[in-house]
């Protein structure tokens, strides 16, 4: 069960991370912003020495996906009980909204204020909420395989 939980958590984190990448790319294009600047800012925040390097955007993406996987693993681990699909989606949205608030209102203004101004706050909040939807979608999909959550019909028979 531990291996299954890990592989589902990784898939959920990758789905959430990919949803954010697609959203940020689309939003940056629509706003006339540099989407790669976000990835470079991730690099600059975590590994400041490579911020000016040509590999910085790729390192930023790698860091983004590693953090996405870690976030999904923490989410799955802290649930620790079976949830219905609707509750799981609400928990994911609440958790990711809290992550956004911590990152964009507290942490990033202290450690990399330029990051916070790359895109409007509503764009970055939607990014995190889309992460939550994508992550929860993967977890709900696994419900049919008996992982983490169960459908309402299963609740009545359990």
Has this prediction a pTM greater than 0.85? yes
Q: How confident is the model at residue 63 (pLDDT cuts 50, 70, 90)?
A: very high
Other residues' Cβ atoms within 10 Å of the Cβ of residue 157: 7
Alpha-carbon span 145 to 65, nearest angstrom: 25
pLDDT the model gives residue 4:
81
Give percent helix, percent strand, percent coil of the chain, each to the nearest 5: 85, 0, 15
25-34, 47-56, 146-155: range with lowest mean pLDDT:
146-155
What share of the chain has pLDDT > 90, as a percent?
77
Domain positions in the chain are 2-157
| Residue 119 DSSP class | S
Is residue 77 scored above 60 in pLDDT? Answer: yes
Q: How confident is the model at residue 149 (pLDDT cuts 50, 70, 90)?
A: low
């Amino acid at each position: 069960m531990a291996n299954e939980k890990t592989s589902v958590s990784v898939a959920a984190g990758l789905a959430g991370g990919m949803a954010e990448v697609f959203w940020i790319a689309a939003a940056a294009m629509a706003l006339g912003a540099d989407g790669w600047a976000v990835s470079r800012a991730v690099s600059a925040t975590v590994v400041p020495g490579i911020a000016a390097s040509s590999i910085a955007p790729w390192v930023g993406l790698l860091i983004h996906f590693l953090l996405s996987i870690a976030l999904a693993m923490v989410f799955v681990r802290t649930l620790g009980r079976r949830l219905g699909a609707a509750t799981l989606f609400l928990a994911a949205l609440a958790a990711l909204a809290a992550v956004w608030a911590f990152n964009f209102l507290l942490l990033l203004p202290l450690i990399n204020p330029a990051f916070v101004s790359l895109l409007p706050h509503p764009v970055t909040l939607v990014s995190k909420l889309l992460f939550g939807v994508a992550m929860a979608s993967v977890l709900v999909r696994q419900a049919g395989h008996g992982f983490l959550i169960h459908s309402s019909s299963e609740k009545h028979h359990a």
